[in-house]
Amino acid sequence: MSKHVLTFCAVSTAATFALPSVAAAQGAPQAASATPPALAAPKALALPAMVERTLPNGLRLVIVEQHELPVVDAQLVIRTGSEADPAGKAGLATLTANLLDEGTGTRDALALAEEVGFLAIRLGTFAGLEQSTVSLHTTRATLDSAMALMADVVLRPSFPEKEFTRLKNERLTGLLQEQDRGPAMADRAYAALVYGEDHPYGRSTSGVKESVESLSLDDTRQFWSTWYRPNNATLVLVGDLSLAEAEALAARAFGGWARATLPPAPAYASNRAAARPTAIHIVDKPKAAQSSFRIGGIGVSRSTADYYPLMVMNTALGGSFTSRLNNTLREVKGYTYGAGSSFSMRRERGPFTARAEVVSAKTDSALIEFMKELRNIRQPLPAAELAKVKRYLRLGYADGFESTGDIAAQLAGLVPYGLPLSTLGAFVAGIDKVTAADVQRVATQYLDPARLTIVIAGDRASIEPALKATRIAPVDVRDARGRPVIVP
């Protein structure tokens, strides 16, 4: 670090002393042009070769050779997450993942942390709705030792009771803290109102107080032994190693992992809020200085044939800094530091959500602007805006492949949805084919202002009268789990 700083300073100093003579040689400074330079056509994105293999135990391998730097990134993706939490045990998948690196058969938590530091690697564990992941970043020089450590975490976690108790108490403390955070309150209520608490998408991956309190150490062991199996996993390896080296490395580390018969995939409950008329639900946070908006409903699955038109449409609406929502609510009106929207595409139909944190006094005004933009996006997209959005998506896509870690993350992102590796290379062409008619069609099909769930977490006493006065939709009060609250 210090060497880089010193080098930078030396270059900067030399450049500073050279400036006067350069300026003198060139004469008076020229006025800047008022015309921005024309952008060149974007270069074609050349993706690295991606190879698939399968070990005898069923572990799928995805291997990418990248030899620019002597580093390797690995991601082991288990195709099960909190969707498989048993009834009344919400939060189990995430707590299980958190425990993996808290001790193994040969190392306690401290010894494990010391070895990670000694090897100078990054080792992480995570669980989401539909996957659990163990990630590794290491240099080529420490690859064998790092991969052995990663395998130890996956195959031989010790589930120490002391660490389980600590993590469980930390989770309960975090859940308590969420009760004073408007954005977290809005997120929880919104998910529950759109899907219902009986649906995996209607619950937080962290669980709730009652479900976390019910979790036992045996629950985490059972979740791990059931779902952490090679025939339910994909190992992504990206970096400075050959195909043969990658296969041999994976076989040494994970070849002895025993496969098992997996339970049936969790059955999802029906989408409860699929066709309800628009309603406004206030989650009361007394004296809140801002209101947290969550507006939308059930969207699409990742396998939708409308993926590319939806990407273009949402980018225009709220998926970029220059999008309509952010421009209107931040730049023009000054109600918020940022507003946006997204389709969370999952195995089943995930939610569409428009969101912002808005100064409390402008809650009603902000809602009016949200509704305007949600109606306007259903009109034909101007040619110039369509071209700008498509160019933004094409140029920005390359950012996801800059490093070995980026490439590994892109590949790991395909695993929960069973998407082929060719999906990554098809993105630019898919975006290029989108027409204005496509955008209008999907906006009309998936965004209906008459069928929206609107959740606003804020100071009910100050925002409720103004929201009712907008006459946009009926207004009621809910708690942070989306349940009705009886008010005087």
Q: pLDDT digit string (tens) for 13-56?
A: 333 334 444 444 455 666 667 787 877 777 788 899 999 999 99
Q: Which pLDDT score, from 0 to 100, does residue 41 have?
A: 75
The answer to whether the CB of 51 falls within 8 A of the CB of 234 is no
CATH code of the region 51-254: 3.30.830.10
Q: In angstroms, how far is the first alpha carbon of the chain from the final one?
A: 62
In Å, how far are 91, 212, 214, 216, 350 from 87, measured between CA atoms?
A: 11, 12, 11, 14, 20
Q: How many CB atoms lie within 10 A of CB 28?
A: 6
pLDDT score for 37: 81
Burial 430-447 (b: 16+ CB within 10 A, else e): bbeebeeebbbebbeebb
Q: How far apart are CA 293 and CA 458, in angstroms?
A: 9
What is the predicted pLDDT for the residue at 466? 98
> Which residues neighbour 238 within 8 Å (Cβ) at sequence distance 6 or greater?
63, 64, 66, 72, 73, 74, 404, 405, 407, 408, 411
DSSP 263-320: PPPPPPPP-TTTTPPPEEEEEE-TT-SEEEEEEEEE--BTT-TTHHHHHHHHHHHTSS
Q: Are 317 and 325 in contact (CB under 8 A)?
A: yes
pLDDT computed for residue 26 by the predictor: 55
Distance of CA 214 to the CA centre of its chain: 28
- The span from the CA of 107 to the CA of 158, in Å, is 9
Residue 29's pLDDT is what?
Answer: 62
What is the predicted pLDDT for the residue at 487? 83
Cα separation values, 138 from 38, 68, 195, 323, Å: 41, 14, 40, 38
- E strands within 299-398? 336-343, 351-359
User: How many whole angstroms separate alpha carbon 63 and alpha carbon 162?
Assistant: 37
Amino acid at position 477, single letter: V
CATH 3.30.830.10 domain span(s) along the chain? 51-254, 279-478
Token output for 223: 């979740």
pLDDT at 32: 66
> Do β-strands 233-239 and 279-284 pair in parallel, antiparallel, or remain unpaired?
unpaired
From residue 206, how far is each of 90, 179, 221, 337, 352 by CA, in Å?
A: 7, 13, 18, 27, 21
Is-contact 177 62, C-beta < 8 A? Answer: no
What's this model's pTM, rounded to 2 decimal places? 0.89
Q: How far apart are CA 385 and CA 391, in angstroms?
A: 10
Please provide the size of the chain in residues.
488
Residues lower than pLDDT 50 in the chain? 1-25, 273
Report whether CATH 3.40.640.10 matches the domain 279-478.
no
Q: What is the pLDDT of residue 488?
A: 75
The pLDDT value recorded for residue 265 is 77
